[in-house]
Amino acid sequence: MTSPVQLIPASRHVDSRGWFTEVYSERNFTANGRACRFVQDNHSLSVAPFTLRGLHFQVPPHSQAKLVRCVRGRIYDVAVDMRSGSPTYGHWVAAELTAENGSQMFVPAGFAHGFLTLESDCEIMYKVSDFYAPDCDAGIRWDSVPIAWPLPDGALPELSPKDAALPALENFHSPFVYDGHPLEPLG
């Protein structure tokens, strides 16, 4: 059984000019058990180090899967299981995504997603499986799950007012249904 959240390493073809990588192929994506159609690409810039965006998701009927990559800088990318009835509800996995390593994280619908920038001027690009729907936009507070955020001792992350006001996980009633695939550590 494959974990629903997956770390996808980059396959780079290197020569004297640099490298080439196929960032996304629907054929390869589905061949590896990730049945998902993406409809929108998003691109964000976070200027200050230790900026935290998240933990975000969209609820049904416009829940979103995401395919996340860092194209400049380094981020600590996190997914939290939000599926009601899941034995791993509230558990999280994380990976460092960098422009250098080219890895991507696949975060299916039913998981909260967020990231912490680890240096200045980080750019993140991600595909989503449904369009932005303001009425379905939701999230939970970054500190309501015991995530080991790699913050300097005593530091708090840079947050948007919206993210600072998100409810705690314990106050969220999940509309997501467990599909029988528990969250597993990233490989």
Separation of alpha carbons 167 and 158, rounded Å: 17
- DSSP letter, residue 177: B
Cβ–Cβ < 8 Å for 126, 41:
yes
Cβ–Cβ < 8 Å for 116, 156:
no
Helix (H) or strand (E) holding 6, with range, is strand 6-8
Name the 3-class secondary structure at 81.
strand
Q: Which of 13, 24, 56, 76 is catalytic?
A: 56
Verify whether residue 56 is a known catalytic residue.
Answer: yes
Residues 6+ apart with CB under 8 A from 71: 99, 123, 124, 125
Verify whether residue 126 is a known catalytic residue.
Answer: yes
Q: Which of 126, 132, 178, 181 is catalytic?
A: 126
- Which residues have a catalytic role annotated? 56, 126
